[in-house]
Amino acid sequence: MNADAIRSSRLLPSFLLTSCMLFWGANAVVSRAGSFHVPTTGLAFWAWVTAFALLTPWAIRRVVRQRRVILRCWKIIAVLGVLGIGLFPQFLYGALGLTGSINVSLINTATPAWIVVLSWLCFRDPVSWRTLLGMASGFLGVLVVVTQGRLSTLLRIEFVLGDVVMLIGIVVWAVYSILLRYRPPEIDALALLWAMIPPALLVSGAIYFSGVFHPWRFDPVPGNLVFLAYCGVFPTVLAYACFNAGAKALGARGAGQFLFLPPLFTAILAVIFLDETFEPFHLASLLLIFAGLYLANADP
């Protein structure tokens, strides 16, 4: 395959992964702008219950057609579902309820590094200097945006229990990302996502209803139901389908580099919709993150 063909083959997965990160970044803005009265662990659970209900009419025919493959590969599908949908959102939202958003954003920037390390440890995937340089550039870009260009902010950060929860969460996501290479290739993205949700809900529901992070409750008022409908489509179904497809094409490490984007998208969308100011540090972060993506995913 020549260089032009390789570049073309990366355009669609790069677009899908960027869309995924936009959905996740927008979710933070919607959560901040809305008045939502469900605990964070409840959001992680009920959003996927909603996603499952909305996805079923679209996916059920594909699931029925591919049922033999799904039943044959149920173990890896269940593992992927438990890790990526059951545990990671609970750790993420649980951490947000126990520590500051800056801490969560900073800790989350270690995810690409964990993916690279675990890929090397488990599969001996080679690591190029371009990948390392891209990771460093992306990390600096996130650091700039979450500290608003003031590195003195880092001196005031205190690490608490929520940071440990988030550290566990990013390791869980890294393991999920590298295990995607074992997804059955015969199953399309929607059928795979649908099959992953039931085992995930068993784990997510157990965490939610146990009250391990927060007492469980849910107020079924119209505003909450509309918000759940949004969460059940964009940061769940569409985002995960885009991530899974992008990771299949670019690999776990290539997809992992895009995880530097959500904090930047959150900041940009907050400027647009929440009347926050676009500062020079936003531009600096934008340039650093996209430079990192280019370095990590460009032809060697």
Q: Record the tokens describing residue 283, joined without a space.
A: 């531009």
Are 246 and 20 a contacting pair, CB within 8 Å? Answer: yes
Residue 100 pLDDT class (50, 70, 90 cuts): low
Tokens 């759940």 sit at which residue?
Answer: 228
**What's the confidence (pLDDT) of residue 263?**
81
**What's the confidence (pLDDT) of residue 35?**
45
Query: Mean per-residue pLDDT for 272-289?
Result: 78
Nearest of 96, 85, 35, 32 to residue 219 by alpha carbon: 35
Average confidence score pLDDT of the chain: 83
Q: Record the tokens describing residue 286, joined without a space.
A: 């934008």
Percent of the chain whose predicted confidence (pLDDT) is above 90: 35
**What's the confidence (pLDDT) of residue 242?**
94
The phi, psi pair for 218, rounded to 5°, reads -155, 125
Query: Mean per-residue pLDDT for 216-235?
Result: 79
Q: What angle do CA 123, 130, 122 make, to 5 degrees?
A: 10
Helices (H), the chain: 3-33, 40-65, 67-72, 74-81, 88-96, 101-108, 111-123, 129-146, 161-179, 189-210, 222-231, 239-256, 261-273, 280-297
Range with lowest mean pLDDT among 3-7, 26-30, 269-273, 280-284: 3-7
What is the spatial distance between Cα 170 and Cα 255, in angstroms, rounded to a whole number?
Answer: 14
The phi, psi pair for 176, rounded to 5°, reads -55, -45
**What's the confidence (pLDDT) of residue 139?**
85
Q: Is the pLDDT of residue 53 over 90?
A: yes
What is the spatial distance between Cα 186 and Cα 196, in angstroms, rounded to a whole number?
Answer: 15
What is the spatial distance between Cα 14 and Cα 282, in angstroms, rounded to a whole number?
Answer: 22
Nearest of 113, 86, 105, 109 to residue 178 by alpha carbon: 113
CA dihedral (55, 60, 62, 67) positive or negative: positive
What is the spatial distance between Cα 35 and Cα 101, in angstroms, rounded to a whole number?
Answer: 18
